[in-house]
Structure 1
Amino acid sequence: MTAPAVLVVGATGTTGSRTAARLTAESHRVKAASRRAAPVAGAEPVRFDWYDTATHAPALEGVDRVYLVPPVGDPDPAAVMLPFLRQARAAGVRRAVLLSSSAVPSGGPAVGLVHQALPGLFPEWAVLRPSWFMQNFTGDHLHARGIREDGTVRSATGSGRVGFVDADDIAEVAVRALTDDRAPDTDLVLTGPEALSYDDVAAVLTEVTGRPVVHHRLTQTQLRDRLAAEVPAEFAGILAGMDGAIAQGAEDRVTDTVQRLTGRPPHSFRTVAERELSSAR
Structure 2
Amino acid sequence: MSDTILVIGATGTTGSRVAARLTAAGHQVRAASRHGSPVPGAESVSFDWYKPGAYPGVLDSVGRVYLIPPPGDMAPAAVMLPFLERARAAGLYRAVLLGSSAIPQGGPACGVVHEALPGLFEQWAVLRPSWFMQNFTGAHVHAKSIEEDGVIMTATGDGRVGFVDADDIAAVAVHALTGEHAPNTDLVLTGPEPLSHDDIAAIITQVTGRTVVHRRLSYERMRDRLAAQMPLEYAAMLAGMDRAIAEGAEDRVTGTVQRITGRPPRSFRALLEQETRRTFLGVPMR
2:182 aligned residue? 183
Change (3 A) 1:80 1:169: same
The reply to whether residue 96 of structure 1 matches residue 95 of structure 2 is yes
The reply to whether residue 212 of structure 1 matches residue 211 of structure 2 is yes
Q: Deviations over 1:218-269 (max 9, x none)?
A: 1111111111122211111100000000000000000000000100000000
Inter-partner Cα distance in structure 2 for 1:3 and 1:50: 22
1:174 aligned residue? 173
Contact 1:35–1:49 under 8 Å retained in 2 = yes
The reply to whether residue 106 of structure 1 matches residue 135 of structure 2 is no
- Work out the percentage of aligned pairs sharing the same amino acid: 67
Inter-partner Cα distance in structure 1 for 2:130 and 2:230: 20
**2:10 maps to amino acid:** A
Contact 2:23–2:42 under 8 Å retained in 1 = yes
The reply to whether residue 225 of structure 1 matches residue 231 of structure 2 is no
SS in 2 for 1:20: helix
1:276 Cα deviation from its structure 2 partner: 3.6
RMSD of equivalent CA atoms: 1.1
Inter-partner Cα distance in structure 1 for 2:72 and 2:154: 18
Q: Please say which of residues 154-163 and 220-229 is displaced more in the overlay.
A: 220-229
1:47 aligned residue? 46
Inter-partner Cα distance in structure 1 for 2:189 and 2:152: 23
SS in 1 for 2:73: coil
2:116 aligned residue? 117
SS in 2 for 1:14: coil
Q: Deviations over 1:60-117 (max 9, x none)?
A: 1110000000000001111111110111111100000000000000000110000000
SS in 2 for 1:7: strand
Inter-partner Cα distance in structure 2 for 1:9 and 1:3: 17
Count of matched residue pairs: 280
Contact 1:100–1:127 under 8 Å retained in 2 = yes
1:36 Cα deviation from its structure 2 partner: 0.7
Contact 2:2–2:92 under 8 Å retained in 1 = no
2:21 aligned residue? 22
Contact 2:164–2:191 under 8 Å retained in 1 = yes
TM-score (norm 1): 0.98
Q: Deviations over 1:166-211 (max 9, x none)?
A: 0000000000000000110000000000000000000000001100
Inter-partner Cα distance in structure 2 for 1:68 and 1:232: 23
Inter-partner Cα distance in structure 1 for 2:227 and 2:275: 28
Inter-partner Cα distance in structure 2 for 1:238 and 1:144: 20
Inter-partner Cα distance in structure 1 for 2:54 and 2:173: 24
Inter-partner Cα distance in structure 2 for 1:81 and 1:3: 21
Contact 1:138–1:276 under 8 Å retained in 2 = no
Inter-partner Cα distance in structure 1 for 2:220 and 2:76: 24
**1:113 maps to amino acid:** V
**2:125 maps to amino acid:** A
Gaps of 5+ in 2: none
2:164 aligned residue? 165
1:54 Cα deviation from its structure 2 partner: 1.3
1:3 Cα deviation from its structure 2 partner: 6.0
Inter-partner Cα distance in structure 2 for 1:154 and 1:115: 30
Contact 1:223–1:240 under 8 Å retained in 2 = yes
Contact 1:8–1:31 under 8 Å retained in 2 = yes
TM-score (norm 2): 0.96
SS in 1 for 2:274: helix
